[in-house]
Structures are given as C-alpha cells and as structure tokens.
Structure 1
Amino acid sequence: MKIQEIKSNQQSKYNEIIEYLKQDNGYWLVNDKWDLTEEFFIGKKIYNSRYIDFSYFKNEYIKNEVKYFFLYKFKEKLLTNKGLARLNAPLKHFSEFYSGKSLLKLNREKTFHKWKIFLMSRDIKFDINEKSYFWFSNYLIDFIKDFYDDREETEKDIWYSKNIKGAKIPASGANHSNYNAINFSYIPMYYRETVKRYFKTIITKKSWMTCYNTAKYLNYFFNYFYSSDYGDGFIENLNRNDIEKYLYDIGNDRKDKNGTENSKYVSFIRTFLEYIQIAQYDKAPKKEVSFLIFQDDIPKRELHKDEVKKAKFVPEPILKQLDSNIMDLDRPQFIPIYILLRETGWRGTDILNLRFNNCLEQIWNNKEQSYNYYLCGEITKTGIAQLKIPIRDKVAEMLRKVINKAKVLSTEENNHKQYLFNTYEGKLKGKPLNKQSLLLTIQRLIKQKDIRDINGELYHFRLHSLRHTRAKEYVEQGIGISIIQQILGHQSLQMTVHYATVSENILYEKWKNTEDLELFKVDTKTNDLEKVDLNSDSGENLIRYEYVKKNLDAVRVPFGICFKASKLPCKQQMNHCLTCASFCTTIENIPEYEEEIEHVKKQIDISQRCGRELWAEKNKTYLKLLEDTLLRVKVQKIVHKNGKSREEA
C-alpha cells in the first residue's frame, strides 16, 4: 500500500512537470532544442551558443526532468543568462553518464563520486570551483529530489528561503541563486538531524543571511573533522586537544583574511555547541563547552579604529554636486530613492523594502499642535519590525506622490507584495528596483557631470557611503548618539559609535565650548548658582565629573558620560552602557531616562503586536535596567562605579 502511494505521488509530481513544460504553447515540451535567440527566451546567443540541446537524452522521463530543472531556474530567475549557458555545457556528457529511468533514484554522494571519475576518464578539463561540469550532478539531483519531496520544508535537506514562513529576508536579498537555499546535505548524515533541529530554533529569529552563513561555518567545521580521520560521534567526545588542532589549522587556512570573518569560524561553532549542550541534545559534547572553546580562542575582530577608517564619507564638495544634479539622473524612478537615502541614512535594502500601503504616517505632536510626517519600514537586518523616523514635509510630499503612482500601477499580478519602488514588467516583475542599477545610474551621472575627487579622478561612489555621511551629519547637528542609533536602526550602540565622527571644523567648535571649567552648580530649588565646596565629598565628585566630562577623552553616551580611556577596548559591545563600570550618570539625565522608558514601552507594544516575541523580551530586560538605574539616580544623585579610580589611573 505504501509503495503504491509513493508511486502514485511520484506520478502526480511528474504530471506537474509536464504541465509546467506546456507553457508558451507547449514550446518547452515539444522541442528538444531550445533556441536561445527566441524573444520569449533569452533573445540572443550566449557564449556563441544558440541552443540548449536535450536530444541527447533517450529516456523521455529523464529528459523532461532535466528540462524542468532548466525551465524552472530560468522562469524563476534563479540563474543568470550566463549561468544557464554554463549549465548547458555538461548536458551531453551527463546524458552519456546516466541512462537510468529517473533522477529521483540517484544517490547524491555516490553519483557525485562517479561523475568526477567519469569526467576525468573522458579527459574533460574542469575547475572544482566552476559551477558547470564539476557540480552539475549535485545541482540536478538536489533540485529533483526537493521537487518530489512533499514534506514540510524544515523536514527536508534543502530549505528554500521562499518556503520558510517567517524567514527574515530583505527585499533585494536571498533571491540570488547562490543564497536562496540552505543545503544540509553537506552535513554528515549522523549529525544532519541535530543541525536541522538547531536551525529550526534560529531560522525565524535571525536574518536569512546569518542562518545561511551559520550553515557555511558548520559545514567547514564538520568537513575539517571528518577529513581529519574523525568519524561519527566525534562531537560527543570532543576534548580540548581536538579544538586546539582545529584552531591551529583554521589559523593557517585563513591567514591574512578578514579578522571579523575569521572570528565567526570559531564563535558560531561555539554558539552551536553551547546551545545543543544546554538544550540537552543527544549528540551534544559531554565535556562543558566553556572548557573546550575559550573566549580568547576567538580571533580578534578588526579594531574599531580600522572600521571607522572604512566608514567612507562623501566629501562635502562631492555631496553638494550630487545633491544639486540628482534631478538629472537618466532613470528618474531612482531620484526619490536617492532623496530618501540622503534624508534618512537607511540602508539601500531598507528603502527598497518600503511598502506603499504603510510607509508614510502622520503622528500628532502635542508641543507643536500639528501632525508630523514619519517614514515607516521594517529593518530586516537588525530585526526591527516597525521603525518610524521623522522626515521633512517636502520629502513627505514627494513620497506621497510616489505612493499614489505605485497604487495606480500596482496589481495583484505585478506587485502582490506592494513594494513602493517596484519593477512592473520584465524578468524581475514583482520585485523591488535593483540596488546595483541605482548605483550604476549614479555613477553615470558622476561621469556625465564630470564630478571629480581631490586627485582629479572621477569620484568613486559607493551607495553605503550615503549612510555613513548622513550619520556624520546627525552627529554634527548635535543629535544624541542613542537617537542616531534609533534612526539608523542599529542593534547596538557600538555600531553607531563607528559612524559618530565629526569634521575638523565641528570638532574645533565643540572644543571651544569646553575651554572654561565651570566649578559651579545650580540650586534646583532657587535656580541660583552656588560655588562648589571643594572639601565635601559631593563637591569633589562633581568637580571630578565636570573635569572628565569636559576632557576630550570622555564620550557622550545615552544618559551620561563614558569615562573609559580611549586606549581601552569597550567590553560593552553586546551590553548597554548602563552596566559598564566606566559609565557615569547624574540627575541631569533624568529627563532622558523618562523619555527612553516611554519609547521602550512603545517598542514592546509594537513587538508584541507584530509577533516579535524575542524583541519584546529583550526590550523588557532593557526597560527593567532603565527603571532600576533611574531609581538609583534619584536616590544617589550621581552614579559612578569607578569613583576616583578612573582619573587616578
């Protein structure tokens, strides 16, 4: 009975293949040679090749399965034209290699091994990194097996982003054929279900690319140990010596490569092992993970000062030329995108992810007794379900026109996701405008207007530099760093600090304001100035506070001043400054606490309404920290853990 059900299901799925190939008046089903120059296909030759030839396959069943693979990849835009042509190259050889009845019957690993031997026996030259000959059998088998598999996506060995409900996919991301699926078939069979179970816990909590990269690091980890004569069960019996070998070899393998990337080959592995141990998975390490991988084992990330140097700002003369000439873009649909990037400092993917049905909102301002316009959008990279930031009226007016136009042009068929900046026809119909196309359009404008850098070269523009530039403008305008963090949608304050630089002229103006050291305080009852009693403990604390606050070594942070020496690394990257021993706060910061507490309560409400429980819990933890600190400030007047130690060091 079960065999009959399986056969019945396979026949039903094969019938779907036949129906799919009947598109375009049955062209793909009837013809065994597909003409690339046909207008409904590519419209031109690729690599001097005109046809994709399936006539080499004698078995009709296999031929249609291979046809379906090619057509689906083409129709769903999962392959570029050149990629399609490259996969066409091994077709004839594969037809000679396999003459069975269905690709579904093939074992992936065994077939891959035989395919390599076959290619070498025919003296066919290939590069293991090239995506046609060498990996063709895997691509084909993975695709067909997934098609015939009707189980839930998370039960399969390949998870496609589009089939994972709740996956955090940016508007212009994860659609590329290189990143649209997480393939667990590379994980050894013994540990595959363990890894998939772990991924079920993170797939809707972390961004799609974080999950994709986690799979990449885990694959490297397993491949290292299995290729080093370790076998099934090695994780359960891991010891420190095993990890030291891994650390040594990975250090050599990735020598001179990006430090931040290198750290993930250790930190992501440790996170995985820690989780499966805490969750008491059957195949978790027996030894405590903290005794296997130490904190110091994780390669150092790039120094923050190096990251600041990488934060490329558009020079002011260049920026003025771009702003004044932007209306001359040869593709006018990109003009409002540029304006929103300049106005907000958001990422390009954040702007492209805007939806016309909810991206503009008016909120009542009690102080001004009027409505203010806010831009609203989801920041997928940091998991912010709904971020609202104020925008100027004239920008809102432009945005309203774009919204009205999108409403007129959009249908369920050409824009079912209601993108504000949508592609309405062609191969990319229903997807947002392409970020790379925007970049190329601006680069053409730079060439047309002859916009040159200080060396006389045409300015090398990068789209992300607009984000860095806007962040710097916010800082120079005196906006608090925590407000900038919220506007930019950063997850941590430390990331915002990377952008928080100012020009030399602004630095001079700020420095001038710190020249006079005011040894006075204000009586909160009478508003009179009182001279500080230098002999009292409170007076000594206040003078020390004023001195360090005026000193350029101190940094303004939310609710107070950070007294950390500039040479010391910040250990609070994943924590709030409120818990840092170098942090100092006083009663003058009370209004900030009260305002932030109200804001966090709103964020908790939004997170709960949007079903983002993880963010709600994090905000609740943050809220408790704020409320506890505020209470201490009201009682103690000034809170500074280090006391004199920071200044006497």
Structure 2
Amino acid sequence: MKNLQEINNSKKSKYDEIIEYLKQDNGYWLENDKWDFYSNFEYDLDFAKGKKYLDFNTISNEKLILELKYSLLFGVKNKYFQPIYIISAFQAFLRKIEKYNTENNIESIINIDVNRFKLFLMNIENLTESTTNCYTKYIISFKHILIDFYDEREEVEKDIWYYKKIQGVKIPASDNRGTLNSIDFRVIPEFYRDIVKRYLISFITKRSVSHCQNVYKTIKVFFNIFYKLGYKDGFLKELTRYDIEKYLYTVSNEYKDKNVTYVNKFISYPRTFLEYIQMAQYKEAPKKEASLLIFEDDIPKRERDSDRLKRVKFIPEPILKQLDNNIMDLDRPQFIPIYILLRETGWRGTDILNLRYHNCLEQIWNNKDKDYNYYLCGEITKTGIAELKIPIRDKVAEMIQKTINKTKELSTEENNPNKFLFNIYEGKLKGRPLLKGSLLATVKRLIEEKDIRDINGELYHFKSHSLRHTRAKEYVEQGMGISVIQQILGHRSLQMTVHYATVSENVLYEKWRDTEDLELFKVDIVTNKLIEVDTSTDTGENLIRYEYVKKNLDAVRVPFGVCFKASKLPCKQQMNHCLTCASFCTTTENIPEYEEEIQKVKSQIEISDKFGRELWAEKNKGYLELLQKTLDKVIEHKLVHKNAKSREDS
C-alpha cells in the first residue's frame, strides 16, 4: 500500500473506518493492491474468459483506491452485485477512472457527475453505448454505497434504508441471495417520500422484513399509478371515490395474469396505509374517510381454504420410507442433521437454518416424569415468535449436541459471528447458514442415486416444505390436539394448522373399517334389500345417533371445548379464537386446559417483552384477558354456550 498518511484529515475518521473494514480476512484487502478475485469469490472463470485479478495500481490517487476497494468489497460481500458483474469489465473501468481523474482532478467517487462521466466515455474515449452504460452503472452503484457510508444521519432519515443498520430489524438468516437488503425510497415521488418513510417506521421492527417489502412495493405502485394518470403533488388530500375507481381499473389490467392473493395486496395495503395516515392525522391524508374511498368489496377475496388445501403436499409413505432409510448416504454429510430436524420437528427450513449453537438445545424439568427433557429452541421469523421451544427425542438431542460441539470447534468470531449451528466457514457466503438450495440439490442427487420414483414412474421431486406438511399430518394421525400442533409448528392461527389436519389413505381406511364393524346397515344378501331396523331398540337408537353425527362432521372437538357449528356453515372464527364464537361450548372439564394455556400465554408475553416484540406482547395480553374472562364464566356457570343449547337439541 502507498502512504496512508496523505489522506485528507477532514475525512480522516471515515477513511479510518474504510481501512478497518479492509483489514478483514487477515488484512488481505488492505495490504494487497492486486486482488486474486477468483480465489476469494465464486464465479465461472470460463465465462469470465480467465479473468482472476483486479489491479488497483492502475489508479494513482490513494483516496480513490480506498473508496473503490471499500465499495467493491462491501458491494460483493453484501450481495448488492455479483462477482461476475465486477470481474467482467472492472479492470478496464479502472483505467477509464484514472484518465477521467487526470483531466478533472476528482477528490472522491461521490464527486463524479454521472452525466459528465458518460459524455467523457462516449465523446473522448469513443466507447459504444453498451460499454458506456456498463461503466456508468459501476459509478452509480459505488456512489450509492459511498454516499450512504459518508452520511452519518440515522438510517431511517435517509432515502435508502439498509435493514442491517436499523436496530431491531431481523433479516432472515437464510436470505443468502440478499433480496432483503434495503428499501430505496427514491422511487417514491418526493412530495410523499417522507410520509411513506414515517409509515414504514411505525412497524418496521414489529413485522417481518418480507412484509415490509410487500407494503413498500404496493405503496410505490399506488403512487406511481396516480402520477402516470396525470395526478400532481398533493392529490392525496383531495382523493375521491372516482379517483380510486381509476386506480382499481388500472390495477386489474396491470395484474390480470396474477392470482387474486397477489392482486389483493395492491388494494388492501394501500387502504391500510390511508387508514393509518388518517388516524395518525398526517397533514397529507385524504379528507374523505378511507373506508369510503376503498370499499371492503373492492379487495379481492384471498384463496379459499379448500384451494389452499389442494396445494398442501404430503410425501407419499413409500417415498418417505426410502428417504428416511437412505438419508445417511447423502454425499454432503453436513446436510444430514438438517434433514433429520426438518423431519423431526416440521419446522420451516429457514427456521432450522436460523438455529444458533449457543442456545438451540435446552433441558427443561418435567414434573410428571421427574426428569429433564430435551427441547429444541429457535426463533420462528415468519410469525414473529421470538423463542419457540418444542420437545425432541433423546437421540435427536444427541445428534444436535454433536453438531454443536463440532460447530464450536470450527467457529471463530471472524467466520461465524452470528453463531449459526449450520454455518458456512469460507468463500463468499462465509458467516451465513448453509443454503436451502444446496440441501435440495443434495437430496436430489440421493434420489437419483437410489432411484426413488413417484407413482408415475418419475424421479421424485423433493421439496423441503413437504416435510413440514407431512410431519403435521403425522401429528394428527398420532392423536395430537390441533392447538398443540399449532404451537409446535409455530402457526399464527389455528386455521392454518387445520390446513394440514388430514389423514393418510391408510388411516382413513382403518377409520372407515371401524364404522363398518358397527354393522349399522343390515343388507339381505339374497334380496339386496335393507333389513328393517326397529328404532325403539338400542340398535335403532344407535343408528339414529350415527346418522346425526355423520351429517355433522364439522361439529368437532376444538381447544377448550366442542364446536357445534352446522357442517354447511362457514367458520367465521378462522382468524380468531373459538372462545368468542356463538357455536362454541365449554364446560368445567376444560378448566385444566384454560389454566395451562394461561400460563403459556403469560410466558409468551414475558418472552415478547424480553425481545422487544411489542406487537406480539399486546396481542397476547388481549388473548390472556379473553382466556381469564371465559375461565371465570365456566367456574361460575359450569357450562358456557351462547346458543343456549346444542345443535342436537335445536
């Protein structure tokens, strides 16, 4: 390196930060002006025509070298651009920067005028338009990184937010593609940019990053459509139903090839946005009430539960047995414990990959067994559960402990700062968890090797989420209660768990055979006529009872009681608790359930408070109050049923 003391003192502190950043990987990036790019990052060397090295000695200005090094390394490591994007033309770009600097004497990359640089490339260097655009994109990308670096304002005050810099925001550990890096508010019309930022701030630490991205995307489309239609700054305040009808028409045409669930967001999210800025009394908010602008009926109904259920994929039992029996033969052994945990728990792949070796395994005292039981502990990021603990078998716990021990041996603060249980220790993804895509590819090779085929004779197409569906079905078949399955899987609502609450064909046959054994229908095999049953007898009475139950299969056991909803009526409580439903019945025999659930909810409130999840704490407090009120009623009245009598008596 050249003499670092020549750096401008006015930016000395920021340059010190650049130097400190370049010291990573044992100082390789700082001490070397010629980088072996291929050895440090993965890309197709043949596709890049043998290019391996980047030589910064082309640049004579030490300040520019530091800025270029920082921008390049930061951008690649954070996946703002791929290594192949850099290596393909970057060396030639450095030579153009040196020539431009010689003529213009620039002090920093951020001082380069993009249009002026573009004219320089086309008029003086006589480059083609495509080459000029390539070099210009480098400048734009690097300027964005450096402007953010030098800008010392709070992240949420800037026009580009990087999630990693916002305290309290949790990015899924398995987002190895870097699709959840940032939000760029510069695409929002400047007049409304600040209110959109203010709105996102209100929930960015409470909701998932993917949800925030969806809200941002739909609000961006909302404003862009109105501006394309010719509306000007300030239109929001005078918004009318007629204006909204034009927006709805544009959305329906723009996304006519998308499913209703996708289109739903472009109407429901803007409506929620308008409602919020009205309640929060933003000065830019519409004068007319949001519910009179966007009607409830304007929002396309999401997929029916029956349609969603059709997409629930279970792994056929013969294939599942073959996978289980051969899983130890995976050609990449590090994926074996991941498969076993997916198979054992039914958790999502992202949540298994997000496990941390220092807190993922815990022993909890069991009063009934008078012994310690093993629990798997992790965060369920999709539904915002800060800490979920589920029991696991001793053999699985032993496997996890071995994995923990091995991970501890291999991990350092530099190669595994986040303490991932399934960590990548070297290469461009160092410090991140193993890839779900790599797991799928590994299992695919096993399927090919073992020739595991589906009913049509095709090689089985494995999806990790199918293990979740399959495990949920196994829980049901083993007789586990729906509310318990909901807690184990980390579902937000009971209805989501019900999607998986089906049984295999074998179990269905066994249940059907049990009813056949009752011999409720007598057939004369000679005349093929039904034998008349006297309904005054016990047999006849049982037949009547059976016919009633058969017609009311939706009247089922639910948490804390029984649902007497008629089988043809839709369930209005799918996203709520059965406790408030008129079809719900509960008695003193359910008191232990209430007491156990109250303790669990109290524990969840403590955890939510501990991890700063205010929204979840608030929702659980409301649920706790409902539980306690219902329990008090049961204790007082012995039986609580809003319809006053069961469906059978009505």
Query: What is the TM-score of this pair, normalised by structure 1?
Result: 0.83
Instruction: Please tell me whether the aligned partners of residues 35 and 41 of structure 1 are also in contact (alpha carbons under 8 angstroms).
Output: no
Larger displacement relative to structure 2 (156-165 or 47-56): 47-56
Aligned-partner Cα distance in 2 for 1:189–1:402: 51
Q: Kindly provide the CA deviation profile for residues 401-436 of structure 1, in whole angstroms up to 9, marking residues without a partner as x.
A: 212222222222222222111222333222212211
Aligned-partner Cα distance in 1 for 2:281–2:170: 27
Instruction: Please tell me whether the aligned partners of residues 46 and 81 of structure 1 are also in contact (alpha carbons under 8 angstroms).
Output: no
Larger displacement relative to structure 2 (469-478 or 74-83): 74-83
Provide the residue aligned with 2:554 in structure 1. Answer: 553
Tell me whether 1:448 sits opposite 2:441 in the alignment.
no
Partner SS for 2:331: coil
* Matches for 1:514-533 after TM superposition, within 5 Å: none
Task: Give 1:104 shift.
Answer: 2.6
Tell me whether 1:389 sits opposite 2:390 in the alignment.
yes
Partner SS for 1:202: coil
Partner SS for 2:183: strand
Provide the residue aligned with 2:539 in structure 1. Answer: none
Aligned-partner Cα distance in 1 for 2:582–2:546: 14
Residues 60 and 285 of structure 1, relative CA distance in 2, 3 Å threshold: farther
Aligned-partner Cα distance in 1 for 2:638–2:317: 43
Residues 116 and 286 of structure 1, relative CA distance in 2, 3 Å threshold: farther
Partner SS for 2:480: coil
Residues 69 and 49 of structure 1, relative CA distance in 2, 3 Å threshold: farther
Residues 478 and 68 of structure 1, relative CA distance in 2, 3 Å threshold: same
Aligned-partner Cα distance in 2 for 1:405–1:395: 16
Instruction: Please tell me whether the aligned partners of residues 604 and 620 of structure 1 are also in contact (alpha carbons under 8 angstroms).
Output: yes
Tell me whether 1:629 sits opposite 2:630 in the alignment.
yes
Aligned-partner Cα distance in 2 for 1:196–1:595: 42
Residues 114 and 357 of structure 1, relative CA distance in 2, 3 Å threshold: same
Task: Give 1:260 shift.
Answer: 1.4
Larger displacement relative to structure 2 (420-429 or 208-217): 420-429
Query: What is the TM-score of this pair, normalised by structure 2?
Result: 0.83
Instruction: Please tell me whether the aligned partners of residues 326 and 335 of structure 1 are also in contact (alpha carbons under 8 angstroms).
Output: yes
Instruction: Please tell me whether the aligned partners of residues 329 and 442 of structure 1 are also in contact (alpha carbons under 8 angstroms).
Output: yes
* Matches for 1:405-424 after TM superposition, within 5 Å: 405-424=406-425
Larger displacement relative to structure 2 (99-108 or 357-366): 99-108
Instruction: Please tell me whether the aligned partners of residues 44 and 84 of structure 2 are also in contact (alpha carbons under 8 angstroms).
Output: no
Partner SS for 2:153: coil
Instruction: Please tell me whether the aligned partners of residues 37 and 45 of structure 1 are also in contact (alpha carbons under 8 angstroms).
Output: no
Provide the residue aligned with 1:540 in structure 2. Answer: none
* Matches for 1:296-307 after TM superposition, within 5 Å: 296-307=297-308
Partner SS for 1:618: helix
Task: Give 1:506 shift.
Answer: 2.1
Aligned-partner Cα distance in 2 for 1:86–1:302: 45
Aligned-partner Cα distance in 2 for 1:43–1:505: 49
Aligned-partner Cα distance in 2 for 1:431–1:602: 31
Provide the residue aligned with 2:319 in structure 1. Answer: 318
Task: Give 1:223 shift.
Answer: 1.1
Instruction: Please tell me whether the aligned partners of residues 75 and 145 of structure 2 are also in contact (alpha carbons under 8 angstroms).
Output: no
Whichever residue aligns with residue 395 of structure 1, its letter is: V
Whichever residue aligns with residue 623 of structure 2, its letter is: Y
Aligned-partner Cα distance in 2 for 1:310–1:56: 57
Residues 39 and 65 of structure 1, relative CA distance in 2, 3 Å threshold: closer
What is the count of residue pairs matched by the alignment? 611
Q: Kindly provide the CA deviation profile for residues 460-484 of structure 1, in whole angstroms up to 9, marking residues without a partner as x.
A: 0001111111011111111111111
Whichever residue aligns with residue 411 of structure 1, its letter is: T
Instruction: Please tell me whether the aligned partners of residues 112 and 138 of structure 1 are also in contact (alpha carbons under 8 angstroms).
Output: no
Provide the residue aligned with 1:248 in structure 2. Answer: 249
Aligned-partner Cα distance in 1 for 2:628–2:202: 31
Task: Give 1:111 shift.
Answer: 9.0
Provide the residue aligned with 1:531 in structure 2. Answer: none
Instruction: Please tell me whether the aligned partners of residues 56 and 65 of structure 2 are also in contact (alpha carbons under 8 angstroms).
Output: yes
Instruction: Please tell me whether the aligned partners of residues 10 and 148 of structure 1 are also in contact (alpha carbons under 8 angstroms).
Output: no
Aligned-partner Cα distance in 1 for 2:426–2:439: 17
Partner SS for 2:442: helix
Task: Give 1:198 shift.
Answer: 1.6
Task: Give 1:312 shift.
Answer: 1.1
Percent identical among aligned pairs is 62
Aligned-partner Cα distance in 1 for 2:410–2:463: 30
Tell me whether 1:329 sits opposite 2:330 in the alignment.
yes
Q: Which runs of 5+ in 1 are unaligned?
A: 1-6, 519-542
Provide the residue aligned with 1:187 in structure 2. Answer: 188
Aligned-partner Cα distance in 2 for 1:168–1:208: 7
Partner SS for 2:202: helix
Task: Give 1:456 shift.
Answer: 0.8
Provide the residue aligned with 1:81 in structure 2. Answer: 83
Task: Give 1:63 shift.
Answer: 6.8
Task: Give 1:26 shift.
Answer: 7.9
Instruction: Please tell me whether the aligned partners of residues 353 and 434 of structure 2 are also in contact (alpha carbons under 8 angstroms).
Output: yes
Provide the residue aligned with 1:379 in structure 2. Answer: 380
Provide the residue aligned with 1:104 in structure 2. Answer: 110
Q: Kindly provide the CA deviation profile for residues 280-336 of structure 1, in whole angstroms up to 9, marking residues without a partner as x.
A: 122222211111112211122122112111111111000000000111111111111
Provide the residue aligned with 2:496 in structure 1. Answer: 495
Aligned-partner Cα distance in 2 for 1:387–1:26: 41
Instruction: Please tell me whether the aligned partners of residues 41 and 427 of structure 2 are also in contact (alpha carbons under 8 angstroms).
Output: no
Provide the residue aligned with 2:166 in structure 1. Answer: 164
Instruction: Please tell me whether the aligned partners of residues 514 and 550 of structure 1 are also in contact (alpha carbons under 8 angstroms).
Output: no
Provide the residue aligned with 2:596 in structure 1. Answer: 595
Partner SS for 1:500: coil
Residues 188 and 135 of structure 1, relative CA distance in 2, 3 Å threshold: farther
Q: Which runs of 5+ in 2 are unaligned?
A: 1-7, 521-543
Larger displacement relative to structure 2 (500-509 or 148-157): 500-509
Partner SS for 1:389: strand
Task: Give 1:81 shift.
Answer: 3.0
Aligned-partner Cα distance in 1 for 2:621–2:547: 33
Aligned-partner Cα distance in 1 for 2:116–2:301: 41
Q: CA RMSD in A?
A: 3.9
Larger displacement relative to structure 2 (260-269 or 421-430): 421-430
Residues 162 and 341 of structure 1, relative CA distance in 2, 3 Å threshold: same
Instruction: Please tell me whether the aligned partners of residues 36 and 45 of structure 1 are also in contact (alpha carbons under 8 angstroms).
Output: no
Provide the residue aligned with 2:527 in structure 1. Answer: none
Partner SS for 1:465: helix
Instruction: Please tell me whether the aligned partners of residues 40 and 427 of structure 2 are also in contact (alpha carbons under 8 angstroms).
Output: no
Aligned-partner Cα distance in 1 for 2:519–2:268: 46
Q: Kindly provide the CA deviation profile for residues 345-383 of structure 1, in whole angstroms up to 9, marking residues without a partner as x.
A: 001111111112111111122222222111111111111
Residues 196 and 508 of structure 1, relative CA distance in 2, 3 Å threshold: same
Provide the residue aligned with 1:208 in structure 2. Answer: 209
Whichever residue aligns with residue 151 of structure 2, its letter is: D
